[in-house]
Amino acid sequence: MPKISQKSNNASQPQLKGKPVSASRSEMAEVVLPANTNPLGKLLGGHVMHLVDVAAAMAASRHSNSYVVTASVDYIDFRNQVGIGEIVVLKSQVNRVFNTSMEVGVKVFSENALTGERKHTTTAYLTFVALDSVTRAPKTAAPLIIKTAEEKRRWREAGERRKARLALRYRKNRSKD
Ligand SMILES: CC(C)(COP(=O)(O)OP(=O)(O)OC[C@H]1O[C@@H](n2cnc3c(N)ncnc32)[C@H](O)[C@@H]1OP(=O)(O)O)[C@@H](O)C(=O)NCCC(=O)NCCS
């Protein structure tokens, strides 16, 4: 399959070298402890959201080699509960680079260390903006090199989601006037 490489469209910056999705794909894991559970001994949704933000920021920052800020979180779901003592595993990857912003997808799994059983518990999509380390203004992120059919599907779907999230953003801005 041919590689897709997005070109930077910021004429004032030198052409950035593209990076493959694999270069910034990230994984983190932690054991579910009592401080992060509800009275039923299940992992708090708010803690999952915190971990999702951290895992996603890791991929965005690695891709852009920059400080990044979360611009939006447009989808998150909770499919299965994660119990105390289980391991929560988060996998993140950059789905698409636009210009200064990047969509990152995060998948969360619960893993029972005693049985090895793994369940998909959460999917989330977040947008991060790369910031210049001196001015802290948005800066162009490196183009993303897409290699596999799966990466191409995520890249295409990220474009659809961007249309929806930016339409919502500008509709909200207009309603403030
Ligand atoms: C996100 C932020 C940097 C955008 O700055 P801005 O001055 O509005 O900049 P712009 O309008 O030029 O947008 C910059 C990029 O952000 C994207 N963006 C801005 N708001 C967005 C939103 N709600 N959802 C998705 N993307 C968004 C724009 O589409 C643009 O992307 P592009 O360059 O790839 O096309 C700014 O709003 C901010 O700092 N927000 C606070 C972030 C924060 O505190 N996060 C939590 C802690 S990390």
Residue by residue, DSSP assigns 77-101 as: ---S--BTTPEEEEEEEEEEE-SSE
> Is 4 near ligand 1, meaning CB less than 6 Å away?
no
* pLDDT exceeds 50 at position 79: yes
CA dihedral 98, 24, 169, 164 (to 10 degrees): 70
CA of 175 to the centre of ligand 1 (A): 18
CA distance 83 to 95: 29
Quick one: pLDDT at residue 54? 98
Please state, rounded to an integer, the average pLDDT across all residues of the chain: 92
CA distances (Å), origin 101, targets 8, 39, 96, 116, 124: 12, 38, 9, 37, 16
> Is 93 near ligand 1, meaning CB less than 6 Å away?
no
Q: What is the mean pLDDT of residues 35-41?
A: 97
Q: For a pocket test of ligand 1, which of 99, 101, 140 has the largest count of ligand atoms closer than 8 A to its C-beta?
A: 101
> Is 70 near ligand 1, meaning CB less than 6 Å away?
yes
Could you give the angle at the alpha carbon of 142 between the alpha carbons of 1 and 140, nearest 5°? Answer: 135
Half-sphere exposure of 88 (CA within 13 A, CB side): 28
Residue 27 contacts by C-beta under 8 Å, 6 or more apart in sequence? 55, 89, 90, 91, 92
Question: What is the sign of the dihedral through the CA atoms of 56, 80, 34 and 40?
Answer: positive
Please report the domains of the chain, with CATH numbers, ordered by start residue.
4-176 (3.10.129.10)
CA of 68 to the centre of ligand 1 (A): 10
Half-sphere exposure of 32 (CA within 13 A, CB side): 25
Q: Which atom of ligand 1 is nearest to the CA of 100?
A: 33
Quick one: pLDDT at residue 14? 66
Q: What's the distance, Cα to Cα, between the start and end of the chain in Å?
A: 48
Residue 115 contacts by C-beta under 8 Å, 6 or more apart in sequence? none
Quick one: pLDDT at residue 51? 98
Residue nearest to atom 39 of ligand 1 (CA): 69
Q: What is the mean pLDDT of residues 20-39?
A: 98
Quick one: pLDDT at residue 134? 97
Quick one: pLDDT at residue 174? 67
